[in-house]
Amino acid sequence: MIELRDLTVRYGSTVAVDGVSLDLPTGKIYGLLGRNGSGKTSLLSALASYRRPARGSVRFDGADAFENPAVMRQTCFVRDTLDVNDSERVRGVLAVAGWLRPAWDHDYAARLVDLFELDPRKRISALSRGQRSALGAVLGLASRAPLTILDETYLGMDAVARSNFYRELLADYLVHPRTIILSTHLIEEVADLFERVIILDHGRLLLHEETDELRGRGITVTGPAAAVEAFAGGHPVLGEQSLGGVRAMTLDWRPEPADIARGEAAGLTFGPVGIQDLFIHLTSPSKRLEAIR
């Protein structure tokens, strides 16, 4: 179990993470979501022992994480900035990772290097933005660290590289289970990987739920426009689309079975709500003003 208790991170007078408490059962893939400036990277930095919290604690199986060599050896934190020396060559970076990570898989790393078409002889300074991101993916996946944190690792990758990254992440996780925390803005692309979702908003914990439970809190209704509007009946609307006389409306509402039966009798069909639609709704400025009131 990973435990965060009243975790607070400050930069001078700025509070980046504000009293977050979380229990994170190990052996799951977590999606960490939040708008720019929500405190995601600051929270991950404290979780990975890169930064001492201003207040509160991070504990792994009851042990304090900060400056704890036993915990830090089991943690791999890959940031989008790729924390390596630009003068190093790719093969040198991989060699150092192999020395630092007890579970490092050299053969898997080599296969990933081929998959992402990286040249081991190149210096980091000669890599494109996408190649640097791909190297970050190699470092994170091949580490096989019990806690692997990937902070927007995909940045700079093209669509093919991102697809390969997601596929490899899931395939290797199934064979070598560990705790993976994936921070991302590309919610629709990667949401199917998440087993749990954590949402931060202005440094505070807004939500932590099982993915299926989160999807179940809303519903998408499709059918004749008049019937859809009648069914919605004043419930919060997350989004809507129209084509001719057909309308699809996404609602923040869990209808009862009797409501569904009534809607189907009116020619409506129903589907789950995407994580991105819920995220946009929950972190919108209007929603925040409602909470303040």
Domains annotated for the chain, with CATH where assigned, are: 2-214 (3.40.50.300), 218-272 (3.30.70)
Token pair 């070598």: residue: 176
Structure token pair of residue 35: 């708008």
Please report which confidence band the pLDDT of residue 202 belongs to, taking 50, 70 and 90 as the band edges.
Answer: very high
Q: How many CA atoms lie within 13 A of 66 on its CB side?
A: 14
Predicted TM-score (pTM) of the model is 0.85
Burial of 94 (0-12, 13-18, 19+ CB in 10 A): buried
218-275 confidence digits (pLDDT tens): 889 999 999 999 999 888 888 788 888 899 988 888 888 999 999 999 999 998 888 8
**C-beta of residue 180 within 8 angstroms of C-beta of residue 169:** yes
**C-beta of residue 222 within 8 angstroms of C-beta of residue 278:** no
56-112 confidence digits (pLDDT tens): 999 988 888 888 888 888 999 998 888 888 999 999 999 999 998 999 999 999 999
Instruction: Find, among 146, 214, 205, the residue nearest to 5 by Cα.
Output: 205
